[in-house]
Amino acid sequence: MTTIQETALDQPLLRPAALGDLRLPNRVVMAPATRARAANDDLVPTEMHVAYYAQRAGAGLIVTEGTWVSERAIGFVGVPGIYSEAQVAAWRRVTGAVHALGGRIVLQLWHTGAASHPDNLGGERPAGPSAIDPGEKSFTATGFKPTVTPREMTAADIEATIEDHRTASANAHRAGFDGVEVHAIGPYLIPQFLNPRLNHRTDAYGGDRARRHRFLLEIIDAVAAPWDGRGAGVRLSPYWASGLFQADEETLADYDALVQELNDHPVAYLHLRGPNPAGDPDLDAFARYRRRFGGPLIVNGGFGRETGNAAIEAGVADAVSFARPFIANPDLVTRFALRRDLAEGDPATYYTGGAQGYVDYPASTWQDA
Ligand X SMILES: Cc1cc2nc3c(=O)[nH]c(=O)nc-3n(C[C@H](O)[C@H](O)[C@H](O)COP(=O)(O)O)c2cc1C
Quick one: 130 or 270, whose CB is closer to ligand X? 270
The verdict on whether 188 is a catalytic residue reads yes
* Residue pair 300/31 in contact by the 8 Å Cβ criterion: yes
- Of the candidates 178, 288, 161, the residue with the CA atom closest to the CA atom of residue 233: 178
Taking the complex as a whole, how short is the minimal distance between the CB of residue 275 and ligand X, in angstroms?
11
Distance CA 8, CA 26 (A): 14
From the CB of residue 315, how many other CB atoms can be counted at a distance below 10 Å?
A: 11
Quick one: 17 or 299, whose CB is closer to ligand X? 299
Give me the residues that bind ligand X (CB under 6 A), please. 31-34, 65-66, 108, 183, 185, 235, 273, 277, 300-303, 322-325, 350
Distance CA 338, CA 206 (A): 51
Quick one: 147 or 237, whose CB is closer to ligand X? 237
Quick one: 24 or 184, whose CB is closer to ligand X? 184
Taking the complex as a whole, how short is the minimal distance between the CB of residue 338 and ligand X, in angstroms?
20
Quick one: 28 or 132, whose CB is closer to ligand X? 28
From the CB of residue 248, how many other CB atoms can be counted at a distance below 10 Å?
A: 10
Taking the complex as a whole, how short is the minimal distance between the CB of residue 188 and ligand X, in angstroms?
9
CA distances to 133, 159, 253 from 199, rounded to whole Å, are 11, 17, 17
* Residue pair 102/170 in contact by the 8 Å Cβ criterion: no
Taking the complex as a whole, how short is the minimal distance between the CB of residue 159 and ligand X, in angstroms?
25
Quick one: 34 or 95, whose CB is closer to ligand X? 34
Taking the complex as a whole, how short is the minimal distance between the CB of residue 319 and ligand X, in angstroms?
13
Quick one: 269 or 322, whose CB is closer to ligand X? 322
Distance CA 125, CA 186 (A): 20
136 backbone dihedrals φ, ψ, rounded to 5°: -110, -175
Quick one: 91 or 201, whose CB is closer to ligand X? 91
Taking the complex as a whole, how short is the minimal distance between the CB of residue 302 and ligand X, in angstroms?
4
Taking the complex as a whole, how short is the minimal distance between the CB of residue 345 and ligand X, in angstroms?
8
Distance CA 98, CA 60 (A): 11
95 backbone dihedrals φ, ψ, rounded to 5°: -65, -35
Taking the complex as a whole, how short is the minimal distance between the CB of residue 67 and ligand X, in angstroms?
8
Give the active site residue among 188, 239, 358, 361: 188
Which residues does the annotation mark as catalytic? 188
